[in-house]
Amino acid sequence: MNEKNIRISEIFGPTIQGEGALIGRPTVFVRTGGCDYRCTWCDTLYAVESQYRHEWKDMSATEIFERVKKLSQEKPIMVTLSGGNPAIQPLGPLIEMGKKQGYEFALETQGSVAQDWFAALDILTLSPKPPSSGMTTDWKIFDDCLKAAGNGPAISLKIVVFDEDDYAYAKDASAKYPEFPVYLQPGNPAPPPQIVDKAALDERLRWLVEKVSNDNWFNANILPQLHVMLWGNERGV
C-alpha cells in the first residue's frame, strides 16, 4: 500500500458528530490541513490558511490510524475526515487500512475535488457553499465527485444557510439532486475566535424552520450545530 504523507491539522475524540446525517454519532475526528476554498465565514481557519502551516503535521496513514486506534482504545468507531478540504489529501490508504479492522469512514467536502477513494467511504457528505461564503460552485466538478463515489457510500447534502439567498441556493441544490437527503443548518454568525451568540443562532434556526414549513419543503432536514450549542467555538483539542 502506497502511503503518501497526509497533512494533519488535528486528531481528536471520541466525541460526537455535531451536524449533518451523523449528528450525535460517536466519532473520532481526523482534520486535515489545507483547503482550495476561502469561505468568508469559515470556522476552521486554523485548518485552512497557510499561516497555520507550522501547526500542521505530515503523517503517514499508519501513524494516523495508530492515533485513531489509541483514541478509540482499539474499538472500531466512525472516523470523520474533515478539514479544510480533506478531499485534497491522499486518504485512500488510511480508509483501506481502517476498514480492514472494522472502522467506518465519513467524509465532508464541498465537492470541489473528486477522488477515486470516495467509493471506499461509508458516508459522503457533500456540502456545497452558498452565496454568503463568497465561493462559486462548479457543478461539473460536483458531479465528478458523485461519479467517483458511485454506489459506495451513503450520500447526503449539507448546506449552511445564513440568509434568503443561501436558502434559495439550498432549494435549487436539493432540486438538482432530489435522490439525496438534504440537511440545512443555520450559519454561525460569530466564527472563532468570537464568543458564540446563541440567541442569534436560535433566531436563525427558528427563521429557517418557518421558511421550510411555509414553503412545504417537507423533505428537508433542519438541524443546529450540536457541537456549537455544547462547546461554542472551542476547538476539539
Query: Does residue 141 fall inside a structural domain?
Result: yes
Query: Does residue 1 fall inside a structural domain?
Result: no
The mean pLDDT of the chain is 93
Instruction: Give all strands (DSSP E) within 33-85, no chain letters.
Output: 57-59, 78-82
pLDDT of residue 225: 81
Confidence of residue 227 (pLDDT cuts 50, 70, 90): low
Query: Does residue 172 fall inside a structural domain?
Result: yes
Query: Does residue 171 fall inside a structural domain?
Result: yes
pLDDT of residue 121: 98
What domain range includes position 36? 6-231
Query: Does residue 157 fall inside a structural domain?
Result: yes
Domain count, the chain: 1
Q: CATH number of the domain that 165 lies in?
A: 3.20.20.70
**pLDDT tens by residue, 66-122:** 999 999 999 999 999 999 999 999 999 999 999 999 999 999 999 999 999 999 999
pLDDT of residue 230: 61
**pLDDT tens by residue, 158-177:** 999 999 999 999 999 999 99
Pairing of strands 220-222, 182-186: parallel
Q: State what percent of residues in the chain have pLDDT above 70.
A: 92
Whether 125 contacts 20, CB under 8 Å: yes
